[in-house]
């Protein structure tokens, strides 16, 4: 066997070993990577089903008033503790007519407060202000307050659990 053919055979043997090593490593990484990456990004795909949560009896709300109501989000984990709680600003406008505003400012999600004397929602973070109907009165919010679905059911006022509203482009 000449020196040259020996070299090329060595090279092809080496190439084979290189390829098989890298291929096997990559296959192993992809195989274990699917469940690993999959479980980390699962919350993007798995959405909890919204649930109607009772927030109080119909007769407990005065027509014209805006009050804070608290309820449990749609899929509380056993160890969530107080973080499972969420809130909405509930406005009773008529006999069975309600509006439920998200408590998250449409600017960057801070908790807006209802200032009854001024009849305004005010955000403590970056100065967003909204009128009674949720429309922007001042400050940086690009849109009015988000609203949650609300209904009266068997004498109870119920709010449909919803995601934290994310203002997108």
Among 53, 61, 66, 86, binds other proteins (CB under 8 A): 86
CA atoms within 13 A on the CB side of 145: 32
Among 25, 60, 142, 149, binds other proteins (CB under 8 A): 142
141 binds other proteins (CB under 8 A): yes
Among 58, 137, 152, 160, binds other proteins (CB under 8 A): 137
The span of 16-24, 30-38, 58-66, 160-168 binding other proteins (CB under 8 A) equals 160-168
CB of 119 to other proteins, least distance (A): 4
**Strand-pair category, 113-115 with 66-72:** unpaired
The span of 23-31, 56-64, 107-115, 150-158 binding other proteins (CB under 8 A) equals 107-115
Q: What 3 state SS string does the chain have?
A: CCHHHHHHHHHHHHHHHHHHHHHHHHHHHHHHHHHHHHHHHHHHHCCCCCCEEEEEEHHHCCCCCEEEEEEECCCCCCCCHHHHEEEEEEEECCCCCEEEEECECCCCCCECEEECCCCEEECCCCCCEEECCCCEEECCCCCCCCEECEEEECCEEEEECCCCCCCCC
Among 120, 147, 156, 160, binds other proteins (CB under 8 A): 120
The span of 29-37, 79-87, 91-99, 145-153 binding other proteins (CB under 8 A) equals 79-87
Interface with other proteins by CB under 8 A: which residues? Answer: 41, 43-44, 47-48, 68, 70-71, 73-87, 103-104, 107-113, 115, 117-120, 122-127, 129, 131-132, 137-142, 161-164, 166-169
């Amino acid at each position: 066997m000449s020196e040259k053919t020996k070299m090329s055979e060595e090279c092809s043997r080496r190439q084979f070993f290189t390829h098989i090593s890298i291929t096997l490593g990559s296959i192993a990484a992809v195989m274990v990577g699917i469940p690993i990456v999959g479980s980390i990004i699962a919350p993007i795909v798995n959405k909890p089903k919204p649930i109607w949560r009772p927030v109080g009896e119909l007769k407990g709300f005065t027509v014209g008033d805006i009050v804070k109501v608290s309820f449990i989000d749609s899929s509380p984990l056993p160890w969530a503790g107080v973080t499972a709680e969420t809130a909405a600003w509930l406005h009773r406008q008529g006999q069975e007519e309600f509006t439920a505003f998200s408590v998250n400012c449409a600017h960057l999600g801070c908790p807006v407060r209802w200032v009854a004397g001024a009849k305004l929602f005010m955000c403590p973070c970056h100065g967003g202000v909204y009128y009674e109907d949720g429309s922007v009165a001042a400050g940086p919010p690009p849109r009015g307050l988000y609203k949650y679905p609300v209904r009266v059911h068997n004498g109870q006022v119920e709010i449909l659990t919803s995601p934290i509203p994310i203002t997108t482009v």
